[in-house]
Structure 1
Amino acid sequence: MIDSLARMQAMLDCSPEQWLEETRQLWEPMRGMYFFIPGGPDWTVVHSQNLGFSQGAPRQQIINALGKLKDADAWNRVNRALSQGILDLATANPHILIPDLTVLLVLGDPTNQHFMDEIRGLSAFGGISGYIVITVWPTDEVLGRLEAIALHELHHNVRYSPHGVVWDPQTVTVAEHVIAEGLADLFAVQSYGQRGYTHFVTDQTRSSNDVLRRVTEGLDVTGMQDFVAWVLGDATARLYGLQPVGLPTGAGYAAGTRIVQAYLDATCRTAAECVITPASEVLDIALPRLGLTKHEC
């Protein structure tokens, strides 16, 4: 667990000329996450892409938010949750290899309306083995879910470890992404109950049969460049200039949890046990129970 509080305070206090160097120092421990970029990444771009707070963010607002994270003991809470989650995964899967983890907690950008309103102060990524980034704005809702957020990303990290599921950006399907989100949420639910569910997905989206059917229509879409609309929804797709598909925010999470829950109910297994279960196996068992079939795209 990187002690990012001091590094973010240094970014807040630095001159505009020092911003690049302070940003680099915050992100340098995550360099291995960007192994695919020749010569290494531009750290200011990385920080922005992960929705970290900007140079232009109101200073006092950032000071107050960092104080809230510190007062909430955020770093220790995430660390403890991950330690317990690793134990739970290892117990459920005695032969699985758990990657060494480097974890970065970042304060998000309050000037980004999409981050603050649409995805309600949370952006996180754990899909590259050995690294987890969690970007938050410390609302009561987010602070109440810190442990569950960490477990969600941990499940992804182990699923896509070298001995787990292969994520090929060219051939991976929406189905894999949707099932992974469902498994990760339900893994967090195992430990934290309702707090385990990703909070930017509304109850209406979760319960909507229309949303479930529409996501199912896209399960065979291939190539992760087209995933945003199917998993995160139309609002995020429009933000990145991508084609909407008629889905609300977090639709893929909602459909994923319903599909995975149907699979777990049928097999009497847990999300921890199924960390590397192929998406095809989950779909073959779950979809008939939900009265659905995959659509060929």
Structure 2
Amino acid sequence: MTISLIDSASGMRRVLTADEQDRADLIREFWAPMAGMYHFVPGGVDMATVHQQNFGFRPDSAAIEQVREGLDTLVAADAWTRVEKALADGVTALASARPGVTIPDLTVLLVLGDPTSKHFVDEVQGISAFGGISGYIAITVWPSSCVLDRLEAIAVHELHHNVRYSPGGVVWDPRTVTVGEQVVAEGLADIFAAELYGDAGYTHFVRDETRADDQVLAKVAGGLGITGMADFAAWVLGDSSARLFGTEPVGLPTGAGYAAGARLVRAYLDATGTTAAHSIHTSASDILRIAMPRLGLTADAPH
């Protein structure tokens, strides 16, 4: 398999030095290799809109100097080389744990986020990434010291998702997928990253008290059987994201699904003596059936 990291540093530099009216087209240009991520959308999508939906930096002049400084910080941190090496290391770890696992060729985009978005900077602390479509990983960051320290972990978290939902793995159907699947997937991906990078593997916008809160765990457990993607933001990301995306909050803090997922997956791994790398294709129902009683939970697991 091959890992193709888009030269978005050069692409973003072109955007940031262009006249304002030309910037949207230049954003489309460096996002263009990711178009296959939306193969299921008739007629395709506008990649400049995708950039915005992923919390990408705004092409107007409001924060352009701040974005230039952010790009300089990413380049100085050798971010692209680090992400590529982390993905290669993650591929090796998965192939070792699951010989014969299907790992697709990867097209990977690392892009700067919008420093003027309070939700992006403060609530999710400068990270928005997506690896759920086989063969594509998009990582949007603001280069705080915490994000820079976690670059490798962020990359392999998305790699775990990507391989889980690639051919031979778990089938993702947006109409029938459960909250339980998403929660388990986030737990598996975080713990896989922790297997490689220690505590840096755990998603940093989840507060320590959220991770340890039994009421949060019980609340998320009560929603595991909910079907369809419409309510995922509330149950996985929390109330703040639910409000941003126009869905009904359910009374959960930011990152609640990640916190619950990590506890559920850890209970499963402890019971079975296996790893998140080896469990990449294990169904959510199998994991929850073993994990939930160990955590004193009785809610129905998704089918």
| Cα deviations by residue, 1:192-244 (Å, 9 ceiling, x for unpaired) | 11100000000000000000000000000000111110000000001111100
Contact kept, 8 Å, 2:114 with 2:142, in 1: the verdict is yes
What corresponds to 2:179 in structure 1?
A: 174
How large is the Cα RMSD of the aligned pairs? 1.1
The percent identity for this pair of structures is 61
Contact kept, 8 Å, 1:218 with 1:295, in 2: the verdict is no
| Cα deviations by residue, 1:167-186 (Å, 9 ceiling, x for unpaired) | 10000000000000000000
What corresponds to 1:96 in structure 2?
A: 101
* 1:116 counterpart letter in structure 2: V
Map of 1:238-253 to 2, 5 A cutoff?
238-253=243-258
**Residue 77 of structure 1: how far off its partner (Å):** 0.2
**Residue 272 of structure 1: how far off its partner (Å):** 0.2
SS at match of 2:140: strand
* 1:40 counterpart letter in structure 2: G
Map of 1:42-121 to 2, 5 A cutoff?
42-56=46-60, 57-121=62-126
| Cα deviations by residue, 1:267-291 (Å, 9 ceiling, x for unpaired) | 0000000001000000010001111
Cα distance in 2 between the residues matched to 1:66 and 1:245? 37
Cα distance in 1 between the residues matched to 2:67 and 2:246? 29
Question: For 1:6, which of 10, 19, 23 is the aligned residue?
Answer: 10
Contact kept, 8 Å, 2:288 with 2:301, in 1: the verdict is no
Map of 1:126-275 to 2, 5 A cutoff?
126-275=131-280
Cα distance in 2 between the residues matched to 1:63 and 1:286? 46
Contact kept, 8 Å, 2:24 with 2:59, in 1: the verdict is no
**Residue 39 of structure 1: how far off its partner (Å):** 1.7
**Residue 296 of structure 1: how far off its partner (Å):** 7.9
Cα distance in 2 between the residues matched to 1:20 and 1:192? 36
* TM score, norm. by length of structure 2: 0.96
Structure 2: which 5+ residue stretches go unaligned? none
Cα distance in 2 between the residues matched to 1:269 and 1:194? 19
What corresponds to 1:33 in structure 2?
A: 37
Cα distance in 1 between the residues matched to 2:65 and 2:48? 21
Note closer, same or farther for the CA distance 1:225–1:61 as it changes in structure 2 (3 Å cut). same
Cα distance in 1 between the residues matched to 2:102 and 2:300? 35
Note closer, same or farther for the CA distance 1:273–1:296 as it changes in structure 2 (3 Å cut). closer
* 1:266 counterpart letter in structure 2: A
- Comparing 55-64 with 242-251, greater Cα deviation is found at 55-64
SS at match of 2:29: helix
- Comparing 24-33 with 35-44, greater Cα deviation is found at 35-44
SS at match of 1:103: strand
Note closer, same or farther for the CA distance 1:32–1:292 as it changes in structure 2 (3 Å cut). same
Structure 1: which 5+ residue stretches go unaligned? none
Contact kept, 8 Å, 1:20 with 1:43, in 2: the verdict is no
Cα distance in 1 between the residues matched to 2:153 and 2:260? 19
